[in-house]
Amino acid sequence: MSEIDIELENKEIVKRYKALLRSCNSDITREDKGLIRKAFNLAVIAHQDVRRKSGEPYIFHPIAVAQIVAKDIGLGATSIACALLHDVVEDTDYTLDDMEKMFNPKIRQIIDGLTKISGLAEQDISIQAENFRKMLLTLSDDIRVILIKLADRLHNMQTLDSMARHKQQKIGSETLYIYAPLAHRLGLYSIKTELEDLGLKYTEPEIYRDIVQQLNETKKARVQYIQRFTKPIKERLKSNGLKCSIKGRPKSIFSICKKIKSQGVSFDEVYDKFAVRIIIESEIGNEKSDCWKVYSLITDNYRPNPDRLRDWISTPKANGYESLHTTVMGPIGKWVEVQIRTKRMDEVAEKGYAAHWKYKQKGVTKEGNLEEWVNQIRELLENPETNAVDFLEEFKLNLFSKEIFVFTPNGDLRTLPKGASVLDFAFDIHSQLGATCLGCKVNGRLVPLSHKLISGDQVEVITSKNQKPKKAWLNFVISAKAKNKIKSSLKDAKKAIAEEGKEILERKLKHLKLSFSDSVINELCSYFKYKNSLDLFFDVGSGVLTNSMLKEFVVNKNSWYQYLKSKIYRKTNKQKEQKEEVKYDTLVFGPTEEKLDFTYSKCCTPIPGDSVFGFTTIREGIKIHRHDCPNAVRLQSNFAYRILKAKWIDSNNKESIALLNIKGIDRVGLVNEVTQILSTNLKVNIQSINISSLDGIFDGLITVVIEDKQSLDSVIKTLKKAEGITSVKRKFKSR
């Protein structure tokens, strides 16, 4: 091991600290610099002699987090100081009281919030979900906690190479599942994009490397094309007195990957791999008209695609994002996305909440959707009884959802997630309005509560005092607020019925000469297969559990244990028999390469040779998933403690099912040729084939029985060579 040059490291620490100060905004005061210096000095002392996994001094990490907080998010001195100190209380002997004495109560509060949520990556899903909930609770105190946490996560992702592969997989999945959507919702687009790209790098490294390589190979041609495309635009804007800067940027690696997967196309078939951003200098009062003027001048040169116009200037996104997007046909028949915005809009787009707040303080940006969203989260968190895991799932659904814009009868604009029902609208207006909603009128026409809204709808809610939330409502609401309120109301109603049921059961047991004790209640729960006593009491109160059923329990009380034992024995033997039928000895688990019983998951239908992992379920043992399974990110993020490393050691003489999606230009005899290739040439058994044709284009699904991934790759490669076939992709089953 080479000797560490302490003097050289100290010079590097000072260099990085000076770079941090240069990243601070221009209106930083001498007092602010003093606060940052004091925090830096303490962090250096607290973390001295401590090193990261990579071997570098630990102090590099808090400096880097502070740099992101200052430069990329644009926060002030207090946040920068907290970023420098964010690990001090958790990792050293310094306490929160020390923070308050040495600095101030606000810094103590923020560091306390950061320390509380440091366990977000804990093993237990309930702990993880609860800690995420704690993080969101800091919205009530100070949103800077979440912004600093995002900066911390970004730097951890940037330096993840030194971690073990399974840790990379888990942290990358968690980042894609929670942190990237959260950055998106807070308007931090540059951070969101980098988190997504890095998340992909560590969850699907082969796909990531492939896209990066192809982007690098096409970089020169892309730069030349952007210069050719922007040259006439620059001249037109200049001649019309508009000052601007024009940037060409490639589409993010993650979004290219997403498009390849969702559309079933190759890298070359992704037509909008880059975008041109035009940032204009404009007075606040002229921003909207200037952006539309730029749009007019661009479309004088290049023909726009009318279906690809997005106006987020008239109606900004919920996170405050404002921009005008259009896609135009550029030279040599290539589509180019053009984003038009002002300097202020660009800063809000890149720095999100911090810039939004800055301009709001100056009276430039009105209080709008971002504050509404923060208030909604606070409202969601008010109910302490909500299951933390359910909360995490529902919150996640609303993080990245696309938006629609609908109107109240008075013409007020409301933003809802795409796919929202009229009942979501009612709960969005007010919880009580949603709870008593009897029906709705959309554009003057009466519609059912399950009716899905589209942008531009005007909605009137009809209520009744006698109406109460119903369980069926959960089937068609999608907003976290509506789901949370309905579940809370149903739970309250269930508790009230259960209380009555408890009293009824006590009287009935007394009549049957049984004591109302914990042991008897447990026996009843086991006998009637209830998860807990609340469900038991509820069914008694609802009349589901009748007198005759209770009498049957008393009659069988002494013999039912033996009955249950024999039933469990039979069930276990049956499971063993089933497992023996599907048991393979080609897959081994964990560092000791142990052979265990498992079954294949139906969501991604793995085959021998696939890159897979094991997931330990509660009732069905180990399930095998592919690493690129649609559910992989969610499972690895939320249930990392249940993930088992899996490895193929032998894949001979095993048959598996694979579903192939083939597309191309239709012609006579195509189906016969495909079956000939598979059955005769490749000796592959076809389980089913379904091909449909429309206007000369065919789209089909073929289920084949193959031995391993190598065999499948050979099938795909051979089919692609057939005349007329343009695409052959392995397809997932729908979730």
Catalytic residues: 90-91
List of residues 6+ apart from 709 with CB closer than 8 A: 607, 608, 609, 610, 651
**Residue 80, class by beta-carbon neighbours within 10 Å (0-12 exposed, 13-18 middle, 19+ buried)?**
buried
Amino acid symbol at 95:
T
Q: Rounded to an integer, what distance in angstroms lies between the CA atom of residue 249 and that of residue 346?
A: 14
Is residue 349 a contact partner of residue 322, using CB atoms and an 8 Å limit? yes
Q: Rounded to an integer, what distance in angstroms lies between the CA atom of residue 537 and that of residue 543?
A: 10
Beta bridge pairs of residue 587: 648
Q: Rounded to an integer, what distance in angstroms lies between the CA atom of residue 228 and that of residue 43?
A: 50
Would you state the torsion angle of the CA atoms of residues 286, 289, 294, 298, taken in this order, to the nearest 10 degrees? 180
Amino acid symbol at 699:
D
Tokens of 453: 């809204």
Q: Rounded to an integer, what distance in angstroms lies between the CA atom of residue 257 and that of residue 197?
A: 10
Is residue 590 a contact partner of residue 644, using CB atoms and an 8 Å limit? yes
Instruction: Please give the backbone phi and psi of residue 223, each rounded to the nearest 5 degrees, phi first.
Output: -65, -45
**Interhelix angle 369-380/125-141, nearest 10 degrees:** 130
Is residue 481 a contact partner of residue 426, using CB atoms and an 8 Å limit? no
Is residue 370 a contact partner of residue 318, using CB atoms and an 8 Å limit? yes
Q: Rounded to an integer, what distance in angstroms lies between the CA atom of residue 60 and that of residue 415?
A: 42
**Residue 682, class by beta-carbon neighbours within 10 Å (0-12 exposed, 13-18 middle, 19+ buried)?**
middle
List of residues 6+ apart from 38 with CB closer than 8 A: 81, 102, 103
Sign of CA dihedral 395, 397, 400, 401: negative
Q: Rounded to an integer, what distance in angstroms lies between the CA atom of residue 262 and that of residue 236?
A: 37
Q: Rounded to an integer, what distance in angstroms lies between the CA atom of residue 712 and that of residue 728?
A: 11
Q: What is the DSSP string of 507-568?
A: HHHHHTT----HHHHHHHHHHTT-SSHHHHHHHHHHT-S-HHHHHHHHHHTTTHHHHHHHHH
Segments in 557-600 forming alpha helices (H)? 560-582
In this structure, are strands 622-626 and 599-600 parallel, antiparallel, or unpaired?
Answer: parallel
Question: How many helices (DSSP H) and strands (DSSP E) are in the chain?
Answer: 30, 20
Q: Rounded to an integer, what distance in angstroms lies between the CA atom of residue 6 and that of residue 111?
A: 29
**Residue 402, class by beta-carbon neighbours within 10 Å (0-12 exposed, 13-18 middle, 19+ buried)?**
exposed
List of residues 6+ apart from 72 with CB closer than 8 A: 151, 154, 188, 190, 191, 350, 351
Is residue 153 a contact partner of residue 179, using CB atoms and an 8 Å limit? yes
Is residue 137 a contact partner of residue 379, using CB atoms and an 8 Å limit? no
End-to-end, the C-alpha distance of the chain in Å comes to 50
Residues in the chain: 735
DSSP 734: P
Closest CA to 72 of 362, 350, 425, 339: 350
Q: Longest C-alpha distance within the chain, in Å?
A: 97
